Each structure stands twice: as structure tokens, then as C-alpha cells.
Amino acid sequence: MSAPKLLSGGNPQIPKGEGDAPVQAYIAAMPRWKSAIGKELDELITGLVPGVRKAVKWNTPLYGAAEGGWFLAFHCFDRYIKVTFFKGASLVPPPPVGSKQEGVRYVHLHEDECFDEALLKGWILQAVALPGEVM
């Protein structure tokens, strides 16, 4: 089996699928430092959200509540990983990066910066409690 193709920004091209396996394939295919951060994100989310649903759609890992829609996704870009909170404008404090899509907020994780794990945990716990996005 050949390695997944990397799309623009180094985002892995992973077949659409439900469950943990496609998400782990995506994380393993993330280039360089991004794979380690992807693994940390996945472990953090899985540890905080019992029964979390996982899928890969549009070459992006998605995380959802056991019952309901998606609350978080992440995606590779050249210089950072974009973590998407679909109802991010409702989080306190809201994630720092705005979106053209109403209610969506982002946080960018860079190679040489430590992310605030406590803040990220708070956002995840708040996000999973909100109605998720249906896709």
C-alpha cells in the first residue's frame, strides 16, 4: 500500500470513512511535526469525550458527540494545523481566529509553539456540550 498523497499545504488525502481507523490513517500521514500534534489532539479529545465519534470527510478528521453532530475538526496547512470549532463563537473565551462562516472559530497550532492544553480542554468540553454540525 502506498503512502497517501499530500495535497496543498501538506494535507493528507485520505479516503472518506467512519470510525477511528481513517482518523489514525490521516494522523499517520500528516507530514513532519504535524503528525505528533495530530496524535496529541486525538488523544486529548478521546480522553475527554467518552464514546466520541470519529470520521474523515473532505480529507479532514471530524469529531462528534456520541449522539449528535460534529463539534471539532482539524486540517493541515503549510505552517500550522487549523483546529475548527463549529460552534466556536459560543465558547468562552472564543477561539482566536474568526471565520467567514457564522459561529465557526479556529485556533492555529504551529510547530514551535506550545499550545495551551488547559484552554484547548475547556473548548473541547464546551463544544461537545453544544448541538453539533450535521454534515
Query: Could you give phi then psi for residue 100, rounded to 5 degrees?
Result: -75, -20
Residue 135 lies in a domain: no
The reported pLDDT for the residue numbered 31 is: 93
CATH number, domain of 68, equals 3.90.1150.200
- Whether residue 50 is contained in a domain is answered as yes
How many domains, the chain? 1
Question: Is the four-CA dihedral 31, 88, 54, 40 of positive or negative sign?
Answer: positive
66-81, pLDDT tens digit by residue? 777 999 999 999 999 9
Tell how far CA 16 is from the center of its chain.
15
- Residue 68 belongs to domain spanning: 8-129
Measure the CA dihedral 86/69/77/58, to 10°: -140
Query: Could you tell me if residue 25 is inside a domain?
Result: yes
Look up the pTM and report it.
0.92
The predicted structure's pLDDT at residue 135: 65
Q: How far apart are CA 70 and CA 78, in angstroms?
A: 25
pLDDT value for 9: 78
Compute the residue count for the chain: 135
